[in-house]
Structure 1
Amino acid sequence: MSALQAPRPPQLERKSSEVSEGFSLCETLYKRRNGLGKHADQNWVPRCFTFHTSILCYYDEEFFEDADPSRPRGRIDLARDETKASFVDVQKQGAPTKFLVVLQIFVLGGIERKWKMCANSKNQQQRWFEALKQYDGQPDVDVGQQILDALSIGNGGSQTPRNRAKTNAFNKTFRTLRKNSNAFTLGLNQGSQNDEEEQQHKKTPAMLFLAFNLTIIVARVGDNTFFWMSVVLVNMLLCKALKTSWRKEVKAVIEEEEDEPGLEDIPQNKTVPAAGTMPRAKPKQGSDLEEFLKAPNQGFLSATGCKELAKNLSCFEKLPHSYWNGDGTIFNVRMGPNYKRTGLKKPSKMSLYDLYAVDFVRTEERMKESRDVFQPPDIPGITDVPTGHSYIPPMMIITASMPVNEPSLFNSTDDGPSFNVVFYFVISDATRAALKDMASASPALKLFGEWCRRAENEPQFRGRFKCMCILDEIEKLGLPTPIPGYNGKPVLINKSGAFFRRKNYIEQTINVHLFAYIAKKALYSIQPKFPKMVLNVGFNIEGKEDDELPECMLGVGKLFHLDPGSAPDDLGLD
């Protein structure tokens, strides 16, 4: 850590406060640079921050006595903006301290920017968080009035009766435009609801009319700067409106073609039984496991069969394009204490969940959720037996969607033709027994319980979900040089993940379409080698503090010679 980033002594933390009478707070904090500056080597710089009533400012200078109070580098009126304050006591990479305060600023109810500040002590962090937190939520003043107040600066800051009339008209127009803008966003996020799409389509002419009038009003009452700002804003809204309208027209044409007489109706089957698209490898011939699975009601999809398979991780004969239960102990996971200093990793204990089945399909659009295509498994003796903890389910489903086509560097998308792998995991007997006394349960099980409870509503905590893959005999596959170095390395599923809580299971999805271009390119380049590979795919939750370590694998599946050409693609999602 450089001298610039070193935590400041307490006496320097107080210095600005002593010369800044009239401010609620006036102190030196570290601020993370925005724009291209955030990619610099030293992207945290000390700034003087002031806070009075609802006005938050910061200056280029480090101390208030060196700054010009009339020329802040940044200024926010929290009473006029929708904001949310939060704090974190975790050392972020590159941050000078662990006392982070984040202020999120929302524009038009959706567009977001952030001010990230690092305090020099826990007490200083608490002071600033409490001061900013009281203004969380919607602004206290009318948004239209706020913009007109800014426009009036160029006209001497006063409003005549004529200007007040313009203000009222502008407010009405702006509120309607904002409402329609939010409605468009909602319609895009819930595109599967046809009635809402129809309403958005009908509102497009109104959006165009309101946007045009907004531009005229701003041009009339404002200066050139605010006029061009309004042009940019209006064009953004118009593009969104026209895009929605275009999608609606295309959909209408497609539906009209599908309804033409004489065309054969293709049944849309979205109730395919789980575990029907990929076979399980065979148990070793003549083994006790083979005899066990032949008995009535003891097949590999039964509760008893599933539990027996989990005890025989090496009792298989490979089949092309098949799967088997994976061994969690081959994965190295984080160990405590003080992992941040030691970086120690050792083999995991046995997985918390056992593999039940795997599905593998190709679709023209990625699977948003497994139940869009497959019936969730109903396993008497497992899924109908509560775990004793409302947030921890007896079954966990993990769905990963990988692009079929070669990724483009300049035309990235979050959807498209996909290979979808669905893992079904069921709770192990050992985990179910440990849940009876959560106080003495392992740190990994307690962490998983917290993740199940918080992942649905806390994206940051949900982002602790990790995916890991180990290729057997990787040296024989002839893969490009960088790829073998990542064998067994974890990947955090953050923005590319989604979480669903259902009746007797939870589902975590992984959208590989959202991965970085280089990662997608690497996956695409090795697709032809999939039929030669044996993949061990595992999942766990990232442990950070000592009371969350050691980690333990949640579930592991072993995939033999996965053949993309064998993936069915007629399951009704196209």
Structure 2
Amino acid sequence: MTSTLPPPSFERKSSEIGFDLCETLWKRRNGLGKHADQNWVPRCFTFHGSILCYYDEEHFDDADPSRPRGRIDLARDETKASFVDVQKQGAPTQFLVVLQIFVLGGIERKWKMCANSKGQQQRWFEALKFFDGPPDVDVGQQILDALSIGGQQTPRSRAKTNTFNKTFRQLKRNSIDVFAANSSSNSFEEEQHKRTPELLFFAVNVAMIIARAGDNTFFWTSVVLVNILLFKALKTSLKKEVKAAVDDDEDEEPGLVVDRSSNKSVPAAATIPRAKPKAGSPLEEFLKAPNQGFLSAAGCRELAKNLNCFEKLPHSYWNGDGTIFNVRMGPNYKKTGLKKPSKTSLYDLYAVDFVRTEERIRESRDVFKPPEIPGITDVPTGHSYIPPMIITSCSMPVNEPSLFNSTDDGPSFNVVFYFVISESTRAALKDMDSAPPAVRLLGEWCRRAENEPQFRGRFKCMCILDEIEKLGLPTPIPGYNGKPVLINKSGAFFRRETYIEQTINVHLFAYIAKKALYSIQPRFPKMCLNVGFTIEGKEDDELPECMLGVGKLLHLDPGKVDDDLGLD
């Protein structure tokens, strides 16, 4: 069969744009699209290292490299490449290349691609065939990397360690499942649970055969009995699944301390650099002094006094200025609605981390080792429930959100802010009765948020884009610049020995909000984003509000995130 479709055009040489291969291939559509009349479409494919991507566009010049339609790392998945030189029905050419992707021993999906010549088919087949088989997991080297002297790891070694940890946790879960299935006390129950689908299948078929041989009354009696059997079986199965889910989540309760020391593979502040202090400034000279780097207590305090003393560095961060945010003012805010600039933040920014993960980070210490800052984290605040450090971690979806298939997890950009208590706040805590209302409100939130969801839901996030009018954003978005968002059901609270962590799961935000965030991802490298957090004040004795902590994110580039953690 000869295709009537016009052949797609080729791209320019791959070496000119930094790829091992970059060409146009025919791609067979997946999902419902494979049943369409035109189920083969020309796509631009790129291959670099072990990363295979394809784009909506036919030409690479028209595509956004940071937003492929499909992406797979062949070094991290079990795959098998094959080719066919026989014309398949509906295929545009006879030069077919098939990539099979396996999960737990079974084929999860296939990528079918048609080349336009025998030579092009051979190039792509040889490139993909090189990665055939299961991923290569060098466990010994990963253990050495995880235990490297001083905890200093390269981005590549951190990625290997992260892969090892995920593999180890999966093996551990599998071992527990096997043990439970073979336990003498539970073996019969587990075996019966596993055989439930087979028993249902057998019972339904037997019932249909018997019913067919009987009269009408016997038929409907059989239908009722089969439905009763199915209902009881499904109810029993559902109870077991709910119980298993509850058991799995018990160690994820916000107030329960779980030892995850084996997962602390990445030092805090290792994934994104700070911007540079202005050349020749007193701050630059101060930070050059021995033991006065920006990760020291003295350096942290000095940086908090020099909020504007920096030179912008692409894909970096700096301390944010809390006074640019408008917050609630009293008295009688409910009537007046008055807002004015906040006073200086209660906590100073210590560091930021920015990484991409295949699953959202549920708690920062699952990936990062919490900072230990002599002179700050080891000095009590005078109130056991108010910590010297507050961590705020935010997980944003990488992929375009779906209106009909919402999920609370998936590939994520994770931003982690580490804030340390300011000298002025520490001084105010010495006499809580005379402390400013915002400090007293902070104390109430730290004390009550762990056990009172409504009070925990007073945590607010606010974002201000610098020079937003120059970014050309869609009309609704600028109107929300600086507007607060209450973190209620999308947040979780963790109390640890030297810090409190408040998480924000953007996967749980409304569809429109997620869609807006996704739409501006390509503009991230042009943005200077001020991200601030505060506690909502309601009554007069809780006002005026004051920013809890603020960080300034400078020209974040999603394309650099994988390199930061060495995921590829």
- TM-score tier, shorter chain, comes to 0.5 to 0.7
Deviation at 1:229? 10
* Structure 2: gaps (5+ residues): 1-168, 182-186, 201-222, 246-261
Q: Is the 1:303–1:382 contact (alpha carbons within 8 Å) kept by the matching residues of 2? A: yes
Determine which of 316, 326, 341 is the counterpart of 1:347.
341
Determine which of 261, 278, 284 is the counterpart of 2:278.
284
Q: Which residue of 2 aligns with 1:330?
A: 324
Q: Which residue of 2 aligns with 1:265?
A: none
Deviation at 1:344? 0.9
Matched, 1:530 2:529: no
Q: Which residue of 1 aligns with 2:234?
A: 235
Q: Which residue of 2 aligns with 1:51?
A: none
* Structure 2 Cα separation of the partners of residues 273 and 389 of structure 1: 28
Q: Is the 2:345–2:546 contact (alpha carbons within 8 Å) kept by the matching residues of 1? A: yes
Alignment of 1:17-166 (within 5 A): none
Matched, 1:420 2:414: yes
Deviation at 1:193? 7.7
- Call closer, same or farther: CA 1:484–1:543 in 2, change over 3 Å: same
Deviation at 1:359? 0.5
* Structure 2 Cα separation of the partners of residues 243 and 298 of structure 1: 53
Q: Is the 1:467–1:490 contact (alpha carbons within 8 Å) kept by the matching residues of 2? A: yes
SS in 2 for 1:433: helix
Q: Is the 2:271–2:565 contact (alpha carbons within 8 Å) kept by the matching residues of 1? A: no
- Call closer, same or farther: CA 1:570–1:474 in 2, change over 3 Å: closer
* Structure 1 Cα separation of the partners of residues 244 and 491 of structure 2: 29
Q: Which residue of 2 aligns with 1:544?
A: 538
Q: Is the 1:270–1:571 contact (alpha carbons within 8 Å) kept by the matching residues of 2? A: no
* Structure 2 Cα separation of the partners of residues 492 and 229 of structure 1: 46
How many residue pairs get aligned? The number is 356
Q: Is the 2:271–2:564 contact (alpha carbons within 8 Å) kept by the matching residues of 1? A: no
* Structure 2 Cα separation of the partners of residues 573 and 544 of structure 1: 44
The alignment yields a C-alpha RMSD, in angstroms, of 3.3
Q: Which residue of 2 aligns with 1:514?
A: 508
Q: Which residue of 2 aligns with 1:561?
A: 555
- Call closer, same or farther: CA 1:299–1:570 in 2, change over 3 Å: closer
Q: What does the per-residue CA deviation read over 1:458-516, in whole Å, with 9 as the maximum and x for residues that have no partner?
A: 11111111100000011111111111110000111111111111111111111111111
Determine which of 298, 303, 308 is the counterpart of 2:302.
308
Q: Which residue of 2 aligns with 1:364?
A: 358
* Letter of the structure 2 residue corresponding to residue 499 of structure 1: F
Q: Is the 2:263–2:366 contact (alpha carbons within 8 Å) kept by the matching residues of 1? A: no
- Call closer, same or farther: CA 1:459–1:242 in 2, change over 3 Å: closer
Matched, 1:502 2:496: yes
Deviation at 1:571? 5.0
SS in 1 for 2:418: strand
Q: Which residue of 2 aligns with 1:317?
A: 311
Q: What does the per-residue CA deviation read over 1:356-401, in whole Å, with 9 as the maximum and x for residues that have no partner?
A: 0000011001111111111111111111111010011111111101
* Structure 1 Cα separation of the partners of residues 231 and 179 of structure 2: 25
Deviation at 1:429? 0.3
Q: Is the 1:361–1:569 contact (alpha carbons within 8 Å) kept by the matching residues of 2? A: no
Matched, 1:470 2:445: no
Deviation at 1:338? 1.2
Deviation at 1:271? 2.1
Q: Which residue of 2 aligns with 1:402?
A: 396
Q: Is the 1:191–1:197 contact (alpha carbons within 8 Å) kept by the matching residues of 2? A: no
Q: Is the 1:323–1:560 contact (alpha carbons within 8 Å) kept by the matching residues of 2? A: yes
* Structure 2 Cα separation of the partners of residues 245 and 444 of structure 1: 43
SS in 2 for 1:529: helix
Q: What does the per-residue CA deviation read over 1:118-174, in whole Å, with 9 as the maximum and x for residues that have no partner?
A: xxxxxxxxxxxxxxxxxxxxxxxxxxxxxxxxxxxxxxxxxxxxxxxxxxxxxxxxx
Deviation at 1:270? 3.6
Matched, 1:377 2:375: no
Name the % identity: 77
Q: What does the per-residue CA deviation read over 1:184-205, in whole Å, with 9 as the maximum and x for residues that have no partner?
A: xxxxxx9998376557766555
Deviation at 1:242? 6.8
* Structure 1 Cα separation of the partners of residues 312 and 566 of structure 2: 30
Q: Which residue of 1 aligns with 2:137?
A: none
* Structure 2 Cα separation of the partners of residues 417 and 468 of structure 1: 24
SS in 1 for 2:300: helix
SS in 2 for 1:568: helix
* Structure 2 Cα separation of the partners of residues 457 and 206 of structure 1: 40
Normalised by the length of structure 1, the TM-score is 0.57
Matched, 1:448 2:458: no
Q: Is the 2:343–2:547 contact (alpha carbons within 8 Å) kept by the matching residues of 1? A: yes
* Structure 2 Cα separation of the partners of residues 343 and 192 of structure 1: 55
* Structure 1 Cα separation of the partners of residues 367 and 492 of structure 2: 17
Deviation at 1:244? 9.6
* Structure 2 Cα separation of the partners of residues 372 and 306 of structure 1: 25
Determine which of 266, 270, 275 is the counterpart of 2:269.
275
* Letter of the structure 1 residue corresponding to residue 234 of structure 2: N
* Structure 2 Cα separation of the partners of residues 233 and 483 of structure 1: 51
Q: Is the 1:362–1:569 contact (alpha carbons within 8 Å) kept by the matching residues of 2? A: no
Runs of 4+ with >4 A deviation: 190-193, 195-213, 227-234, 239-246, 569-574
Q: Is the 2:272–2:564 contact (alpha carbons within 8 Å) kept by the matching residues of 1? A: no
- Call closer, same or farther: CA 1:501–1:242 in 2, change over 3 Å: closer
Q: Which residue of 2 aligns with 1:27?
A: none
* Structure 2 Cα separation of the partners of residues 503 and 228 of structure 1: 54
Q: Which residue of 1 aligns with 2:292?
A: 298
Deviation at 1:564? 0.8
* Letter of the structure 2 residue corresponding to residue 388 of structure 1: G
* Letter of the structure 2 residue corresponding to residue 437 of structure 1: D
* Structure 1: gaps (5+ residues): 1-189, 214-223, 247-267
Q: Is the 1:386–1:394 contact (alpha carbons within 8 Å) kept by the matching residues of 2? A: yes
* Letter of the structure 2 residue corresponding to residue 292 of structure 1: F
* Structure 2 Cα separation of the partners of residues 427 and 400 of structure 1: 20
Q: What does the per-residue CA deviation read over 1:8-35, in whole Å, with 9 as the maximum and x for residues that have no partner?
A: xxxxxxxxxxxxxxxxxxxxxxxxxxxx
* Letter of the structure 1 residue corresponding to residue 459 of structure 2: F
* Structure 2 Cα separation of the partners of residues 570 and 269 of structure 1: 18
Q: Is the 1:373–1:573 contact (alpha carbons within 8 Å) kept by the matching residues of 2? A: no
SS in 1 for 2:533: strand
Q: Which residue of 2 aligns with 1:493?
A: 487
* Structure 1 Cα separation of the partners of residues 351 and 313 of structure 2: 15
Q: What does the per-residue CA deviation read over 1:434-478, in whole Å, with 9 as the maximum and x for residues that have no partner?
A: 000011011111111111111111111111111000000111111
Deviation at 1:236? 5.5
* Letter of the structure 1 residue corresponding to residue 432 of structure 2: M
* Structure 2 Cα separation of the partners of residues 236 and 381 of structure 1: 57
* Letter of the structure 2 residue corresponding to residue 376 of structure 1: P
- Call closer, same or farther: CA 1:209–1:379 in 2, change over 3 Å: same
- Call closer, same or farther: CA 1:433–1:464 in 2, change over 3 Å: same
Deviation at 1:336? 1.1
* Structure 1 Cα separation of the partners of residues 232 and 425 of structure 2: 54
* Structure 2 Cα separation of the partners of residues 207 and 338 of structure 1: 61
SS in 1 for 2:430: helix
Q: Which residue of 1 aligns with 2:81?
A: none
Deviation at 1:545? 1.1
Q: Is the 1:282–1:318 contact (alpha carbons within 8 Å) kept by the matching residues of 2? A: yes
* Structure 1 Cα separation of the partners of residues 558 and 541 of structure 2: 42
SS in 2 for 1:554: strand
SS in 1 for 2:298: helix
Matched, 1:459 2:453: yes
Deviation at 1:238? 2.8
SS in 2 for 1:506: strand
* Structure 1 Cα separation of the partners of residues 377 and 519 of structure 2: 39
